[in-house]
Amino acid sequence: MNEQVEAALQRASETAELNAFVALADATEPGTSGGPLAGVPIAVKDSIHVAGFPCTGGTPALRNWRPAADATVVRTLRAAGAVIVGKTGMHELSAGITSNNLAYGAVRNPHDPRLIAGGSSGGSAAAVAAGIVPVSLGADTAGSVRIPAALCGCVGFRPTTGRYPNDGVIPLSATRDTVGPITRTVADAALVDELITGLRIHPVELAGRRLGVPRAYFYDDLDAETAAVIDDALGRLSDAGAELVETRVEDLDELTRPHSLALTLHEWPRELGMHLARHRCPVTVEEVVDAMAGPVERKWLADQLWGDPVPVTHHVEILERARPALVARYADCISRDRLDALVLPTTRLPARPIGQDDEVLINGRQVGTLEAYLRNTDPTAFAGLPSITVPAGRAASGLPVGLSFDGLPGTDTTLLALAAAFERLDR
């Protein structure tokens, strides 16, 4: 076992109260001697298959399931020399944003263990933020990479849907799901992206770049501390020579709110059932539902199987009309104002205390927790667009705030380069 892996396992033991991991590697976990990630310890969300490890998906019925083979993304990183040091805690079946898991315990934020780490890839973000590993893998359906990365002060990258292979990943929605890295630096995220895709980013300067600031919707009713950090970040972009362009993505609420959750719910039981059968899991989707620990998450899935499911006609409408229309609205915005990317707060508020699963306080009023945290990450995920969150600074309370760069499908390397340029401003 190399020194890096030994140090990671020691650090994981020292920070066990964060509950970032559900399983840690045996001390004899092998690594490849060569490659760009030679000996680098990484962590993997517990919805992504890693041979030799359990894959619980954060749900009780899969506690003892051990898939036979690595997911392709894991196999790729292992071939580059990475050593998997553990599987990370998550929101049950990825269906939430707090990682307050009633079966395996809440994942805690390294900046304040009383607070949520975000979700659903909460353990992956906590493992990076706590200094256990420099790189972890998460999965993002509506913000599940970017939300915990922002709340824990990490970089979180959601690639264009389909850019990374999704085989060997417990699914929510085939239309929306993607694996994504959570890292300490943009350079580390870019390296993971290059290893998976073969595409390298080229450094850019911020001077002369046109960055859209979509105030309507994305900047509405921000927590006051978050707003102050984001305003400062925009000022730094402007001082670096970026041209900030006030802009707007039309019809966001109308094209997202009635359709986004419906798309996920319709696809969830079908995709989950097929995944378990394809990988010869001895547990059925019905048995998974019966044993689920989270009452809200269980009701969502049970309704699709035995209750009031999303109609097939609505699913067709989403795929044929609503989703393409949303992509077109983004394209219209970016083309009209000749933008390189959009910049926006990743979340409307920093981390809140564990246990506030139903509502959180924003500017003196109670707002649904899911809606509060998903508002800015969900539209891009619904549309299949790439997005990267980078630490923007600390709120007055000391908690991290994230700034996102969003773009059109296929602009992943541009977003990574812009995020890296923003990151360099703090050096």
Q: Which residues are catalytic?
A: 45, 120, 144
- 3 state SS for 109-165: ECCEEEEECCCCCHHHHHHHHCCCCCEEEEEECCCCCHHHHHHHCCEEEECCCCCCC
* Cis? peptide before 404, omega within 30° of 0: no
The amino acid at 250: E
**CA–CA dist 175, 350 (Å, integer):** 29
- What is the Cα–Cα distance from 92 to 393, expressed in whole angstroms? 30
Give the helix ranges, DSSP H, for 248-349: 252-256, 260-278, 285-291, 295-306, 312-317, 323-336
Indicate the burial class of 34 (C-beta count within 10 angstroms; 0-12, 13-18, 19 or more): exposed
Q: How far apart are CA 48 and CA 138, in angstroms?
A: 8
Residue 298 Cα to chain centre, angstroms: 22
8 Å CB contact between 189 and 155: yes
- Please tell me the distance from the alpha carbon of residue 226 to that of residue 346, in angstroms, as a whole number: 10
Rounded Cα distance, 245 and 392, in Å: 19
Exposure letters 81-90 (e unless 16+ CB within 10 A, then b): bbbbbbbbbb
